[in-house]
Structure 1
Amino acid sequence: MTISDDRKRKLDGLFKAFSIVADGTYVFVCDMQYNYSRWSKSAVDFFGLPGEYMEHAGEIWGEHIHPDDKGSYDESMDALFSGKATSHDMQYRTISRDGHYVMCTCKGVVLFKDDGNLDYFCGSIRNHGLFGHVNDLTGLRNKYGFFEDLRSAISKEQPFVVSTISLTHFSDINTVYGYEFGNLVVQKFARKLVDYIGNRGLIYRLDGVKFGVVSESLSIDELKAYYERIRSMINDGFMVDNRDIRLQTSAGAIAVDRFPVSDKVVYSCLVYSVGNSKRYRQGDMEVFDNRLTKENMDKLDRLEAIRNSVAHNYEGFCLYYQPVMDASTETLKGAEALIRWQNDRFGLVYPNDFIPVLESDAIFPILGEWILTQAMTDAKRFIEKFPDFILNINLSYVQLKRTDFVETVKRILMETGFPTKNLCFELTERCRFVEKEILYAALMSFRQMGIKIALDDFGTGFASIDILKYITFDTIKIERIFVKDIAANEKEERLLGIFTDVAATFGSDVCVEGIETGTIRDIVKKYHVNSLQGYLYSKPVSLEDFLAKYIDC
């Protein structure tokens, strides 16, 4: 059936309108009644198509698509022309005139007649081979393309979901089979991702063996379902170069439905979530909880505000100090510096509500430097009155992983003039994410400088006896959970005795946290304990209150 002149004029009009907003993409418009299309001349020239005007262009274009991608493409086209689908959004490899495959992203929508019948299929194709941000190994958009598309999705202010999927223990593949075979596995997995997600989202190759997914059509529950299907497939094994390969994955996801928000905050939430998936959930997808809090505040809004505060001269950040008391005399021995953030909208925010996520952000080391500098500056006033005062500062695993962190500490010590003999670094539970060799080298450097090292939260998570075998600690801090019920629980008291014996064996002092009542204090003091910390003496207080109570009195 030959297209009428009126229909052809309308097709040309639509093509012109779409071309105006094409923004560096090829445009196509298909009259679905006649299956007659017009395509951008640049696409015709690059891919060697028959001409700008084509009958059955979908079939012609399908012949240019890589055989491994064609099944998903045909399925999407059949759904469009049968009326089962109204839009098209997928990635595939397409062969150019010179015989090379390039990755393309094709997006299109169906326009309907007033009577509900199919009228036009209009859309655009982005040739990533021309516009960059493409990973050479997989043909997928790379990390730069991911952030470009993430920012684009955010700018539309329409809900979407985004996920990162990481292959875990992949170094074993490279060790056993070699890097060349490892690259084949990455390529195969990338194609599996594209096949499973299909027309429902865009796939990206991020750093290493991490992949990204951005979807404007899937819900979080649907995304989780697809992830489980992919995970089951690779756990059961798939063939690569006649070898049966089994992989493990971890994944994080977030539903972005409140705006404005920055791409960097979204990505930090993803990194945090995929880390939790690997460490605590055996690879189950960890969805970042973006629900409204009890104060009716959105977590992403709060993280965005906190991140912006770092960039705006640390506005809203301050340090609180909780006294550490000598166990024998119950007089001031030192204090632990604790970060807080506050503004008019969100009130006072505690570190557990932002540090774990912010650690995944590139801006965190800057905040870490501010904490060190501010704490040492504040504490110089403390040691004027108490020369033996010990300032305790918590270190993040992100800081300890940095190769320049020791030099950073030396620089801050020089700038503030703070004596190393009055400084103690506390290792938190998350420091277990640092390789032992790197952690040991950093701590040895600090000890050589005269800085004391404390093991925080002993008996929980990272803070186990194992680490005592290769690192010497000046102080072991026993967490509140082990003494809060000590008055009514004989097992807790026996456990406290065991902990103090372990500390004595390794030559470490003991600080017990969670001293909230006189009864707890009296029981704890029966054992070899050097210092006490808890609400019985004081909760963490502002610098002004600490000065008024202990220094300027």
Structure 2
Amino acid sequence: MVRKEKLDSMFNAFSIVSGGNYVYVCDMKQDLSRWSKSAVDYFGLPSEYMENAQSIWNEHLHPTDREYFNESINAIFAGSDNNHTLEYRARRLDGEYVVCVCQGVVIHDDDGKPEYFCGSIKNHDSVNYIDDVTNLRSLYGFLDDLKSAFWKKQELDILMIGVEEFSRTNDIFGYTFGNRALRKLGSLLLSEFRCEGQVYRMDGTKFAVIAQKSSIQRLSEIYADLQETCAKEFYVGSDRLTLSLCAGALHLERFSVSPDTVYSCLRFALHESKGNHHGELFEFQEVVIDESRNSLTRLNEIRNSIVDECVGFELYYQPVVDAKTEEMCGAEALIRWRNNDYGLVPPFLFVPILEQDSLFPELGKWILREAMICGNRIRAKYPNFVMNVNLSYAQLERTDFVDVVLDLLKATHFPAKNLCLELTERCRLLDVKLLQNIFVRLREEGVRIALDDFGTGFSSLGVLRKLPIDCVKIDRDYVLNIQSNKEDRNTVKFISQLAEAFNAELCVEGVETAEMRDMLRKFNVTSFQGFYYSRPVPIEEFCVKYSC
């Protein structure tokens, strides 16, 4: 009776913090368990109190999931594991299976022996795993099926397909017709990939295929045929549409990463296909770092760092100097990630991929806050100091982006006039009207706007005309050979005149020698940035250099 009272006491305690999930507590010494009544009713279990609950629950699991469930529970009772997190399918009272996530932990007695196994079960029945438009499995189903493959350590080839500029179809024919087109495309994908794997409808106009017995080469061949069909022979009723597709792919053979990390890599590959490879299939290639680690596992660690309140991230600062006096007038904040296993990782190894991740705006917010805090430290000695921070399109797409910036300025007491937000080349796909609305509001508050990477694909004359730009930054590629290359000198001269015509300052990046500096001074340049003055350095080193 005493042990049953203790079982009930622990059950009540776990129920308080369960967050609405089902709760179970097992007395491991007597193999007596108590389960939530809601779970008993939902799954048709014999009673709230059960002996040998493992065997009873095992009969309610999907047959293909039982092996992994029993393996984990046996390890718990054998003392080789102290906790587990499992996802499996459980049969509810009406015979249908629902996806559940079970988390449990072992509590030891005073002698250190396992005494109770306690935990909760989250029922995902409320999540829609079937897409309403196409009747394909949805993004939720895609992520869950990835998790299942991870547990089973199944090598996979994954393909993600996107439809470019599908909004035009909706604008011309209406959303009802657009949904018919997506259903037709879903049926076509099912037909084309029926022998390769499972087809999914992802978010928006994206689809995916998880193939267990195929190859990237085979998926690429099918995709090429699909492109041809969608471009020339795609009919919805009697209406022929021309659909432009893009695709990214990934071969998965490591299982220490999360499905969300895989999803981000696929989105990156899809973005590369669309932006830089004219719709040809782009494969995300893992780079082997050493014998036991690769770029995907590193990216997974970086992504986890964002979840853990951006632990491991730090900002380096590269000074911006006045072109005439060479006095420090500002700095650009540059993100880095540091880890005991991977060392200091530069941004080009993770930012382009993480920009496709829903977590990236949180990192962007952390960067802004940290830059403002450090900027205040520098401003104490240099009141006119301007902190430059790069923006990502993932931030700019958020409807609350302006409010986030203004709230951070208020919270850190950083003056808006001392902040300069840099619009990078990767933002080129965003709608100019969206950018106008954002930057007009920020300019009204005093925030400065810089156009970074001028001379690359995004930085066109049309964009300079339409956006309120305070500073144009010339990409370093245009000045590396400025002493010997007449065309580069003419390019810099033209850009300097262009900036002056639009009342914008001109900053030249990549200044590495005194000779480059002297040559650039012949043009209407406002400021310099480059290794000649300083490499990017941590805030402490920056403050020592400039006594701030």
Whether these two folds match at TM > 0.5 is yes
Matches within 5 A, 1:140-539: 140-293=136-289, 297-539=293-535
Shift of 1:206: 1.4
Higher alpha-carbon Rg: 1
Contact preservation (8 Å) 1:237, 1:247? no
Shift of 1:183: 2.4
The separation in 2 between residues aligned to 1:20 and 1:491, in whole angstroms, is: 74
Q: Which amino acid aligns with 2:263?
A: Y
Q: Deviation per CA, 1:268-320, whole angstroms, max 9, x where unpaired?
A: 11111111111121111111111314797411111111011112232211000
2:543 to 535, 542, 547: 547
Q: 1:411 to 1:178 in 2, by over 3 A?
A: closer
Q: Deviation per CA, 1:321-346, whole angstroms, max 9, x where unpaired?
A: 00101111111111111000011111
The separation in 1 between residues aligned to 2:386 and 2:153, in whole angstroms, is: 50
Give the match's secondary structure for 1:330.
coil
Q: Which amino acid aligns with 2:474?
A: I
The separation in 1 between residues aligned to 2:526 and 2:126, in whole angstroms, is: 67
Shift of 1:364: 0.9
Q: Deviation per CA, 1:207-227, whole angstroms, max 9, x where unpaired?
A: 222111111111111111111
Bigger mean CA offset, 508-517 vs 463-472: 463-472
The separation in 2 between residues aligned to 1:141 and 1:516, in whole angstroms, is: 54
Give the match's secondary structure for 2:224.
helix
Q: 1:411 to 1:238 in 2, by over 3 A?
A: closer
The separation in 1 between residues aligned to 2:64 and 2:449, in whole angstroms, is: 61
Residue in structure 2 matched with residue 43 of structure 1 by the alignment:
none
The separation in 2 between residues aligned to 1:238 and 1:439, in whole angstroms, is: 34
Give the match's secondary structure for 1:469.
helix
Q: Which amino acid aligns with 2:318?
A: Q
Q: 1:526 to 1:393 in 2, by over 3 A?
A: same
Give the match's secondary structure for 1:198.
coil
Q: 1:248 to 1:25 in 2, by over 3 A?
A: farther
Shift of 1:264: 0.6
Shift of 1:244: 3.0
Shift of 1:493: 0.9
- Aligned residue pairs: how many? 436
Bigger mean CA offset, 169-178 vs 502-511: 169-178
Bigger mean CA offset, 236-245 vs 310-319: 236-245
The separation in 2 between residues aligned to 1:481 and 1:397, in whole angstroms, is: 23
The separation in 2 between residues aligned to 1:463 and 1:501, in whole angstroms, is: 15
Contact preservation (8 Å) 2:128, 2:140? no
The separation in 2 between residues aligned to 1:319 and 1:347, in whole angstroms, is: 15
Q: Deviation per CA, 1:392-426, whole angstroms, max 9, x where unpaired?
A: 11111111111111111111111111111211111
Q: Deviation per CA, 1:7-49, whole angstroms, max 9, x where unpaired?
A: xxxxxxxxxxxx978844799xxxxxxxxxxxxxxxxxxxxxx
Matches within 5 A, 1:85-100: none
Contact preservation (8 Å) 2:436, 2:468? no
The separation in 2 between residues aligned to 1:382 and 1:462, in whole angstroms, is: 32
- The answer for unaligned runs of 5 or more in structure 1 is 1-18, 28-101, 103-128
Contact preservation (8 Å) 1:377, 1:416? yes
Q: Which amino acid aligns with 1:257?
A: E
Give the match's secondary structure for 2:380.
helix
Contact preservation (8 Å) 2:440, 2:468? no
The separation in 2 between residues aligned to 1:461 and 1:521, in whole angstroms, is: 26
The separation in 2 between residues aligned to 1:295 and 1:502, in whole angstroms, is: 51
Q: 1:135 to 1:493 in 2, by over 3 A?
A: same
Contact preservation (8 Å) 1:297, 1:346? no
Give the match's secondary structure for 1:385.
coil
Q: 1:453 to 1:148 in 2, by over 3 A?
A: same
Residue in structure 2 matched with residue 120 of structure 1 by the alignment:
none
The separation in 1 between residues aligned to 2:409 and 2:276, in whole angstroms, is: 37
Shift of 1:483: 0.5
The separation in 1 between residues aligned to 2:158 and 2:59, in whole angstroms, is: 26
The separation in 1 between residues aligned to 2:388 and 2:305, in whole angstroms, is: 24
Q: Which amino acid aligns with 2:420?
A: C
Contact preservation (8 Å) 2:417, 2:447? yes
Contact preservation (8 Å) 1:340, 1:349? yes
Q: 1:131 to 1:358 in 2, by over 3 A?
A: closer
Percent identity over paired residues: 41
Contact preservation (8 Å) 1:160, 1:255? yes
The separation in 1 between residues aligned to 2:174 and 2:475, in whole angstroms, is: 45
Q: 1:295 to 1:491 in 2, by over 3 A?
A: farther
Contact preservation (8 Å) 1:157, 1:260? no
Shift of 1:515: 0.6
Shift of 1:266: 0.4
Q: Which amino acid aligns with 2:416?
A: T
The separation in 2 between residues aligned to 1:407 and 1:178, in whole angstroms, is: 33
Shift of 1:146: 1.2
Contact preservation (8 Å) 1:472, 1:506? no
The separation in 2 between residues aligned to 1:262 and 1:269, in whole angstroms, is: 11
1:139 to 124, 127, 135: 135
Shift of 1:182: 2.4
Q: Deviation per CA, 1:469-506, whole angstroms, max 9, x where unpaired?
A: 11121111111100001111111111111111101111
The separation in 2 between residues aligned to 1:131 and 1:487, in whole angstroms, is: 62
Contact preservation (8 Å) 2:160, 2:206? yes
Shift of 1:186: 1.6
The separation in 1 between residues aligned to 2:448 and 2:58, in whole angstroms, is: 66
Shift of 1:158: 2.2
The separation in 2 between residues aligned to 1:260 and 1:300, in whole angstroms, is: 9
Q: Segments of 4+ in structure 1 off by > 6 A? A: 19-22
The separation in 2 between residues aligned to 1:414 and 1:318, in whole angstroms, is: 22
Residue in structure 1 matched with residue 117 of structure 2 by the alignment:
none
Instruction: Report the TM-score when normalising by structure 2.
Output: 0.76
The separation in 1 between residues aligned to 2:150 and 2:436, in whole angstroms, is: 42
Contact preservation (8 Å) 2:273, 2:280? yes
Contact preservation (8 Å) 2:313, 2:338? yes
RMSD: 2.4
Give the match's secondary structure for 1:338.
strand
Q: Which amino acid aligns with 1:209?
A: T
Q: Which amino acid aligns with 1:341?
A: W
